[in-house]
Amino acid sequence: MKKGWREVPIGGICWVSSTEYKTGTWKTYAPRIDYEKCTNCGFCWFYCPDGAIRWNGEEKPKVDYDYCKGCGICAHECPAKAITMELEVK
């Protein structure tokens, strides 16, 4: 049950950290990385506007589905065509 108007802080101020707001629920298409094709170039990490690609420069990148909004930029930019956008089935 969401908070009622008496409990919500006034002024529209967020009462939790933005990291707790899982914007990943917004997406319609989710990126899937084919690790056979992935060359570990890091482009997806650079291009993702939401910082939703986790990459440490050594291991191959992972999508953080909690925050990925499904924009498809990573798939568009991937030089190895290793990312496909799949319809989310909820």
Confirm or reject binding of residue 5 to other proteins (CB under 8 A): yes
23 lines the binding site for ligand SF4 (CB under 6 A)? no
In the chain, DSSP finds a helix count (H) and a strand count (E) of 2, 4
Helix (H) or strand (E) holding 43: helix 43-47
| Token output for 90 | 């909820």
- 1, 10, 87, 89: which one contacts other proteins (CB under 8 A)? 10
Nearer residue to ligand SF4 within complex by CB, 7 or 58: 58
Interface residues with other proteins (CB under 8 A) are 2-5, 8-18
